[in-house]
Amino acid sequence: MPSLEVSGVSKRYPGFELQPVSFSVEAGEVFAVLGLNGAGKSTLLRTIAGTVLPDAGTVGICGRNRRPGRADPRLSVVLDGGRSLYWKMSVAENIDYFGALKGASARSRRARRDEVLLRAGLADKGDSLVGTLSRGMQQRLVLAIAVMCEPRVLLLDEPTLGVDLVHERLILQAIETLRDRGCAVVLTSHQLDFIERLATRALVLEGGRSKEPQALGELRDLMGEQVLEVELEHTPSGALIAQLCAMGVSVDGRSLRADASTTSLYSVLDAVRPAAIVSCTVGRASLRNAMEHMAQKEAA
């Protein structure tokens, strides 16, 4: 039985429609929801969380339908960063409050407090008011609280927003720990390298519409297995851009990119000669390549 089962969930706002979405996530799986700004990622996560009522569809958690508007101890969400915390309470009081809300006893909350502070990288901030923390610190605290509740399903909307490189690693480790304990994680992020390190499958939203979820490897293959990238010193002329496009090369400012299985690197280098080249690589396609390819298709 999947830990999370989303069936036909839809939501309409004036000027935007999240069309029916269905997918399931198994215990111990990290599932990504990808898309450009305004594609509907947060709307989807909010309807799954129950903070926004869907127009249609159901959400099952470990085999039981979630009842909208009711807190569910099996589900933790990190949707609005620090905005979901109480700013006039201290860090320790917030940890205690959310632990109590999830039904943890006073004893286990006390025992967990130091662990949560450590996990959030906030060991010396227990007595600080949440309103005095930086945005990245608040984001880390929300995630550490969500992890403390040992959820069966965790929804994360841009968990690394405003978080520095060192603490991004802490967040990555926290998600990996939960995943390894059997939690099903649904994650959105514009940081595609972060997604690539964690997720195995993804649902791509484009203007509120989605296709079947795909394995990350299948998504990368949209660009071909190998991608060639050439960075020029100067932006190419209009005539050269037209010539490159006719060869199947996409041009974004000074960056040229093409599927290496259909376009040879030498033909690209011949076409741009004698322009100065800053870098030139042929390598395995990344998720970023695939998403850029999709974005260019959408803009065309």
Ligand X SMILES: Nc1ncnc2c1ncn2[C@@H]1O[C@H](COP(=O)(O)OP(=O)(O)OP(=O)(O)O)[C@@H](O)[C@H]1O
Q: Is the dihedral of CA 62, 66, 69, 70 positive or negative?
A: negative
Shortest Å, Cβ 12 to ligand X: 9
Q: What is the largest CA-CA distance in the chain?
A: 72
Which of residues 17 and 221 has its CB atom nearest to ligand X in the complex?
17
Shortest Å, Cβ 206 to ligand X: 10
Query: What b-and-e string marks burial along 35-58, b requiring 16 or more CB atoms within 10 Å of the CB?
Result: bbeebbbbbbbbbbbbebebeebe
Which of residues 41 and 293 has its CB atom nearest to ligand X in the complex?
41
d(CA 88, CA 133): 11
Judged by CB under 6 A, which stretch of 21-29, 30-38, 148-156, 159-167 contacts ligand X? 30-38
Give the residue, chosen from 5, 35, 195, 294, that forms a contact with ligand X under the rule CB under 6 A. 35
Give the residue, chosen from 10, 19, 22, 42, that forms a contact with ligand X under the rule CB under 6 A. 42
Judged by CB under 6 A, which stretch of 33-41, 108-116, 250-258, 269-277 contacts ligand X? 33-41
Give the residue, chosen from 40, 54, 99, 224, that forms a contact with ligand X under the rule CB under 6 A. 40
Shortest Å, Cβ 39 to ligand X: 4
Which of residues 43 and 94 has its CB atom nearest to ligand X in the complex?
43
Chain centre distance of CA 4: 17
Shortest Å, Cβ 210 to ligand X: 11
Shortest Å, Cβ 17 to ligand X: 9
Q: Are 57 and 64 in contact (CB under 8 A)?
A: no
Applying CB under 6 A, the site for ligand X has a residue count of 10
Token pair 């296709």 is found at 211
Q: Which two tokens stand for residue 283?
A: 């390598």
Shortest Å, Cβ 13 to ligand X: 3
The answer to whether residue 286 forms part of the interface with ligand X (CB under 6 A) is no
d(CA 299, CA 37): 13
Shortest Å, Cβ 275 to ligand X: 35
- DSSP assignment of 98-167 equals HHHHTT--HHHHHHHHHHHHHHTT-TT-TTSBGGGS-HHHHHHHHHHHHHHT--SEEEEESTTTT--HHH
Judged by CB under 6 A, which stretch of 32-40, 101-109, 226-234, 263-271 contacts ligand X? 32-40
Radius of gyration of the chain (CA): 22
Which of residues 13 and 86 has its CB atom nearest to ligand X in the complex?
13
Which of residues 53 and 278 has its CB atom nearest to ligand X in the complex?
53
Which residue, 137, 178, 187, 121, is CA-closest to 159? 187
Give the residue, chosen from 41, 112, 179, 201, that forms a contact with ligand X under the rule CB under 6 A. 41
Which of residues 37 and 279 has its CB atom nearest to ligand X in the complex?
37
Residue 116: CA count within 13 A, CB half-sphere: 27
d(CA 61, CA 44): 15
The residue ranges that bind ligand X (CB under 6 A) are: 13, 16, 35, 37-43
